[in-house]
Amino acid sequence: MTDSPGIELQGLGVRFGGRPILQSLTARLSGRAIGLLGPNGAGKTTLINTLLGFHPPSEGTALMHGHDVVKGSAALRGTIGYMPESDSFIAGITAVRFVRMMGELSGLPKEAALERAHETLQYVGLGEARYRTLEGFSLGMKQMAKLAQAIVHAPKILFLDEPTNGLDPPARARMIRLVKEIRDSGQAQIVLSSHLLRDVEECCDEALVLKDGKIAFHGNLEEERRANKKFLQVETRGDERAFAAAAEAIGCTCALISPGRLKMVLPQQVAVLDLYKIAASQAIQIRRLDYKRDSLQDIFLKAMEEPRGRV
Partner 1 sequence: MAVYDRRYRGYDGPITALNARWMVLPRFAWGQVFKARLFAVFFTICFVWPVVATLWIYLHHNLKALATMGLDASTLAPVDATFFATFMGVQCFVFGGLLALLVGPGLVSPDLANGALPLFLSRPITRTGYAVGKMATLAVLISLITWIPGLFLFFLQSWLEGWAWLAANARVGFAIVVGAGIWIVTISLLSMAASALARRKVIAQTYLLGGIIFGGIAGQVVNQMFDTKLGFAFALPELMHTVWEGLFQVPLSAQLTPLVAWLALAIICGLSIGILARKLKAFEVVK
Tell me whether residue 174 or residue 218 sits nearer to partner 1 (CB atom): 174
Interface positions, 41-60, toward partner 1 (CB under 8 A):
49, 52, 54-55
Q: Pick the stretch among 31-39, 88-96, 240-248, 272-280 that binds partner 1 (CB under 8 A).
A: 88-96
Beta strands (DSSP E) in the chain are 7-16, 19-29, 33-37, 59-64, 67-68, 80-83, 157-161, 189-193, 206-211, 214-220, 231-237, 253-258, 261-265, 285-292
How far is CA 10 from each of CA 25, 153, 216, rounded to the nearest angstrom? 6, 28, 16
Relative orientation angle of helices 110-123 and 139-151, to the nearest 10 degrees = 140
Name the β-bridge partners of 63.
8, 68
Q: How many whole angstroms separate alpha carbon 295 and alpha carbon 221?
A: 9
154 touching partner 1, by CB under 8 A: yes
Residue 175 within binding range of partner 1, rule CB under 8 A: no
Contact 124, 152 (CB under 8 A): no
Q: Does 78 bind partner 1 (CB under 8 A)?
A: yes
Confirm if 113 and 58 have CB atoms less than 8 A apart.
no
Residue 114 contacts partner 1 per CB under 8 A: no
109 interacts with partner 1 by CB under 8 A: yes
> How many CB atoms within 10 Å of residue 126?
21
Q: Closest CB to partner 1 among 194 and 236?
A: 194
Choose between 91 and 249: whose C-beta lies nearer to partner 1: 91
- Of 221, 277, 268, the C-alpha closest to 247 is 277
- Closest CB to partner 1 among 50 and 236? 50
Q: Is 297 in the site for partner 1 (CB under 8 A)?
A: no
301 binding partner 1? (CB under 8 A): no
Q: Compose the 252-291 pattern: x for residues touching partner 1 by CB under 8 A, - for all others.
A: ----------------------------------------
Q: Does 106 bind partner 1 (CB under 8 A)?
A: yes
DSSP 158: E
3-class SS of residue 175: helix
Using the rule CB under 8 A, give the single segment among 114-122, 199-207, 208-216, 272-280 that binds partner 1: 114-122
Instruction: Tell me if 68 contacts partner 1 by CB under 8 A.
Output: no
Q: Give yes or no for residue 149 binding partner 1 (CB under 8 A).
A: yes
Q: Is 148 left (phi over 0), alpha (psi -120 to 50) or beta?
A: alpha
Binding residues for partner 1 (CB under 8 A): 16-17, 49, 52, 54-55, 74, 77-78, 80, 82, 84, 86-93, 97, 101-102, 104-109, 112, 116, 118-119, 122-123, 127, 149, 151, 153-154, 159, 178, 181-182, 185, 187
